[in-house]
Amino acid sequence: MTSAIHDINNVFRDLCLKMDVPAGRLEQEFAALNNELMNRRCIAKGKVLPIFIKPYFVTLKQVERFQSVVDTVLTCQEKVINLYYTDPSFRHLFELTENEEPLVSIAHGLKRHIFFSRLDAIMTPNSFRFLEFNCDSPGGAYYTDIQTELILNFSVLRELSKQYTFLIKPYRPMVLATLLQAWQEFGGKTTPHIAVMGNPDVANVEEFRLFAEYFTQQGYPSFFTDPWSLDYDGRTLTSQGRRIDLIYRRGVLADYSRDPDRARAVVKAYRDGTVCFANPFSSKLGDNKNLLSVLTDEKTSFLFTTKEITTLRQHLPWTRMLREGTTSYGGKTIDLLPFVLTNKDNFVIKPNSEFGGKGVTIGPETSQQVWQETIEAAGREPKVVQEYVPIPTEEFPVFDSGIHFQPKKINVNFLTYAGKYGGGFCRVSDSSVINISAGGALVVLFVVDA
């Protein structure tokens, strides 16, 4: 933490304690903020998305570093994804399922494969390291905009704004601009009719609906739909008679691959080139957890410049598919399964293609018996083993008969648009599995002009 960030955190804390007069005033204001979050539909499973009133503060210098590294990683992702198409001998590295392979092989007519992504990272004492990439169906941008607007109006932040300048940019316009870039690359000449497409049963479905309303307000007819109740006549894809030109895909590839017959209409339209997808299905190639291993594999190093290789090695923790065989670790050749079994405190095991923190086993917090059972389960479900990166903590205010500051574990989630760093938000939790669906909370990221 820089001295400037340390100072602003202390000022924020002092203001909270000073302004909580009479006692409980800030707690009442926080309750009102949560009511407004409900009114603005910032919800998951019908409940207000948890939030803290304290932002995660970063300096402009830090943001410049974030941008440089994130942009480099995105360039490397595109290079390695292109390898899937140009050299079939590398395709096995991507660990796709039998149903996924035909979908990612469909030509989409766009210049890149990933238009929207969220790169999840852990801050380290002197830098940061990525734990995973969410390139299939990343979320959180609209909710972050709502939370930022309301947090800026909270009394403590209004007072803090008298001492510091915050550089805030909304994400909704960036999402729309990125969609329109994809539409232009696709060859679209008219105003597109946009479908925000996803599973209506997921926790954050309200964000899908909010985006559809926003696009419509900006002059682009839009609506939310699932991918299974569509019609295609060979020329036009429709949902209850409404034309679809451009799809903002907010559902994972499994929505289309798990039961191909259900998604037959939209996949046929995509294959025929009558609709534009952003992200296209090929973005899945950048999403699986083992991509961190592919990016640092000696067999793919010929794709990258010396600077890119250095960046990848500095910011990606050691990651491998968890299966029998030998590999390199710390400059030595190891027999992977026995080594991981006897060194659990150095590793984390994750399902290769899950999301929402599902199935993550953290070695230092797990018994040896559970660790062994998790390794044995890798034969039934593809898993990766990743070097354990210690999770930092930061103090956040909680309300419980007054205001108190408690340490919370935190990660940083970088949002990207059309291959460029776009900003981000943070998630915090008492658990080492930091995820909203696992009981975490969102924290807005404020850039301090200092």
HEC per residue, 175-197: HHHHHHHHHHHHCCCCCCCEEEE
Q: What is the mean pLDDT of residues 105-115?
A: 96
CA nearest neighbour of 397 among 29, 3, 143: 29
CA distance linking residue 220 with residue 192, whole number of Å? 6
Residue 57 β-bridge partners: 446
**Which pLDDT tens digit goes with each residue over 152-176?**
999 999 999 999 999 999 999 999 9
Question: Does pLDDT of 439 surpass 70?
Answer: no
- 108 or 126: which carries more pLDDT confidence? 108
Residue 399: burial class (beta carbons within 10 Å; 0-12, 13-18, 19+): middle
β-pairing, 231-232 with 326-329? Answer: unpaired
Q: What is the mean pLDDT of residues 46-75?
A: 96
Residue 421 β-bridge partners: 416
**Which pLDDT tens digit goes with each residue over 288-320?**
999 999 998 889 999 999 999 999 999 999 999
CA distance linking residue 349 with residue 100, whole number of Å? 23
Question: Does pLDDT of 1 surpass 90?
Answer: no
**Which pLDDT tens digit goes with each residue over 315-340?**
999 999 999 999 999 989 999 999 99
Tell me the backbone φ, ψ of residue 163, rounded to 5 degrees.
-105, -25
Cβ atoms 257, 100 nearer than 8 A: yes
User: Using 50, 70 and 90 to split pLDDT, how confident is the model at 353?
Assistant: confident
Q: How far is CA 92 from the centre of its chain?
A: 25
Angle at which helices 306-315 and 60-86 cross, to 10° = 110
CA nearest neighbour of 168 among 157, 176, 179, 178: 157
Question: Does pLDDT of 204 surpass 70?
Answer: yes
CA distance linking residue 78 with residue 74, whole number of Å? 6
Q: What is the mean pLDDT of residues 236-264?
A: 97
Percent of the chain with pLDDT over 90: 89
Question: Does pLDDT of 25 surpass 70?
Answer: yes
Element (H, E) at 315: helix 306-315
Cβ atoms 204, 232 nearer than 8 A: no
Question: Does pLDDT of 190 surpass 90?
Answer: yes
Give the pLDDT score at 379.
82
Q: Give this prediction's pTM.
A: 0.95
- Coil, strand, or helix at residue 383? strand
Q: For residue 153, give the amino acid letter.
A: N
Give the pLDDT score at 130.
97
Give the pLDDT score at 437.
59
Angle at which helices 25-39 and 3-19 cross, to 10° = 100
Give the pLDDT score at 72.
98
Residue 118 half-sphere exposure, CB side, CA atoms within 13 Å?
Answer: 20
Residue 197 β-bridge partners: 225, 249
CA distance linking residue 160 with residue 151, whole number of Å? 11
| H-state helical runs in 40-59 | none
If you compute the radius of gyration of the chain from its CA atoms, what whole number of angstroms results?
22
Give the pLDDT score at 436.
67
Distances (CA, A) of 105 to 79, 83, 348: 16, 12, 31
Q: For residue 55, give the amino acid letter.
A: P
Cβ atoms 398, 53 nearer than 8 A: no
Beta strands per DSSP E along 173-301: 194-197, 222-225, 231-232, 237-239, 242-244, 246-249, 276-278
Give the pLDDT score at 354.
75
CA distance linking residue 202 with residue 448, whole number of Å? 34
CA distance linking residue 198 with residue 401, whole number of Å? 41
Q: What is the mean pLDDT of residues 142-157?
A: 97
The domains located in the chain, with CATH, are: 3-288+392-448 (3.40.50.1760), 318-387 (3.30.1490)
